[in-house]
Amino acid sequence: MRIFDADGRWWDLPAGEKNAITDVPGVTVGHATLRAGRARTGVTAILPHDGDLFRHPVPAGLAVLNGFGKSAGLMQLAELGRIETPILLTNTFGVAACVTALIRRAVAHNPEIGRRLPTVNPLVLECNDGRINDIQALAVSEALAAEAIATAGTAFEQGTVGAGTGMRTFGFAGAVGSASRVIALPSGETYRLGALVLSNFGRPGDLRVLGERVKTPREQRTDPEDKGSIIILYATDAPLDSRQLGRVARRAGAALGRLGSFWADGSGDVAIAFSTANRLSLDGTVEMVERLAEARINPFLQAAVEAAEEAVLNGLWHARPVTGHDGLVLPALGDQLSRS
């Protein structure tokens, strides 16, 4: 369902059936949410396909827009251009537990990892939810990460759930959000591109919704600085190689600018794009893959901008007001827009 721009005056490309990253066939998403005591955090899992990702990785590209972050697995992804585990999103201090969970999962499927076989590259990305969650409690566990993977499906919640539970965007609550676009090429082929974001960025008062500034209600404490981050994931069923996927990922920056962000000094802004069209092989010698002609890539670059912008807005719309571990209250964008 399209929440924003129902009359199609802001975005040009049509959304997919679910308007979510899971419009790309084979992609699934799951959450594990922890709200107990001073914990308001969680894990979100994105699976490019339901097979053995270690033996059949997918091509991927990376764009680090601003590198203030503590993610795991980005260096090898940039070098090899592939993803070989589920992608986990969590808080900054939860990365280690999620890395361990991904290693244990991969070893369970391939017991010779690190021995006869190469080591696995666990991919975990993070944002700091410490304004809402008591991040020093280290509440994210291997079990929570495993739960997020186990619950992955084509239908999933958006908003203040999973890794988005304690996040903060332009002074509003959350969140995890998603959107998708359908791309019809002149030759007749139709492809999908979806985005999923873990949104935790932006200075209060800077948010633009379809180009219009939206004021943030007064918070209990003043915090005029942008010290947050955002992770943007793209999936497509088009046959793009890792270099082309890197080009797609870099367009995330245009989406953030349309929303009112300038990628502040302390913001970790990372985008990853992967394709499900060509499953690679750990055991092969020569791989025969299709690749989109470079002259046909422009609609995918436009789709990347539109889908990421809408994914942030969708996540904020679905978020619910959140009270932090120390009493800070974050309002919901949906409530603000309903009053205006």
Tell me what pLDDT residue 42 has. 98
254 C-beta neighbours (distance < 10 Å), count:
16
Q: 340: pLDDT confidence band, cut at 50, 70 and 90?
A: low
Please list the alpha-helical segments (H only) found in the chain: 74-80, 95-109, 142-150, 242-250, 252-259, 298-318, 333-339
Residues 79-102: tens digit of each pLDDT: 999 999 999 999 999 999 999 999
* CATH T-level topology, domain 21-339: L-amino peptidase D-ALA esterase/amidase (3.60.70)
Q: Over range 155-182, report the average pLDDT.
A: 97
Q: Distance between CA atoms of 287 and 210, rounded to whole angstroms?
A: 43
The residue behind tokens 């992804």 is: 77
| Active-site residue, 229 included | yes
Query: Structural domain boundaries of the chain?
Result: 21-339
Q: For residue 108, give every residue at least 6 positions away whose Cβ sits within 8 Å of its Cβ, in sequence order, or none.
A: none
Q: Distance between CA atoms of 175 and 308, rounded to whole angstroms?
A: 13
DSSP for 131-151 reads TTS-GGG----HHHHHHHHHT
- The pair of three-digit structure tokens given for residue 83, joined into one six-digit string: 């993803």
| Active-site residue, 50 included | no
Name the residue among 8, 10, 4 with its Cα closest to residue 337: 4
Tell me the C-alpha to C-alpha distance, in Å, between residue 93 and each of 53, 76, 139, 227, 336: 25, 21, 9, 16, 31
Q: 57: pLDDT confidence band, cut at 50, 70 and 90?
A: very high
Q: Over range 250-268, report the average pLDDT.
A: 92
| Active-site residue, 326 included | no
Q: 244: pLDDT confidence band, cut at 50, 70 and 90?
A: very high
User: Considering 23, 129, 134, 269, which one is annotated as catalytic?
Assistant: 269
Q: For residue 23, give every residue at least 6 positions away whose Cβ sits within 8 Å of its Cβ, in sequence order, or none.
A: 16, 17, 180, 182, 192, 194
Residues 196-233: tens digit of each pLDDT: 999 999 988 899 999 999 988 765 445 656 667 999 99
The residue behind tokens 């990305």 is: 125
122 C-beta neighbours (distance < 10 Å), count:
24
- The pair of three-digit structure tokens given for residue 283, joined into one six-digit string: 């055991």
Q: Distance between CA atoms of 194 and 28, rounded to whole angstroms?
A: 12
Residues 3-46: tens digit of each pLDDT: 999 889 999 999 999 999 999 999 999 999 999 999 999 999 99
Contact 34, 165 (CB under 8 A): yes
Residues 122-151: tens digit of each pLDDT: 999 999 999 999 999 999 999 999 999 999
- The pair of three-digit structure tokens given for residue 156, joined into one six-digit string: 């999933």
Tell me what pLDDT residue 223 has. 60
Tell me what pLDDT residue 282 has. 86
Q: Over range 47-56, report the average pLDDT.
A: 97
User: Considering 229, 242, 261, 275, which one is annotated as catalytic?
Assistant: 229
E strands within the chain? 28-36, 39-47, 58-67, 82-83, 87-91, 123-127, 168-169, 172-173, 176-184, 190-200, 208-209, 212-213, 229-236, 268-275, 322-323, 329-330
Q: Distance between CA atoms of 267 and 262, rounded to whole angstroms?
A: 9
143 C-beta neighbours (distance < 10 Å), count:
12
Tell me what pLDDT residue 220 has. 44
User: Considering 71, 180, 261, 267, which one is annotated as catalytic?
Assistant: 267
Q: Distance between CA atoms of 46 and 232, rounded to whole angstroms?
A: 12
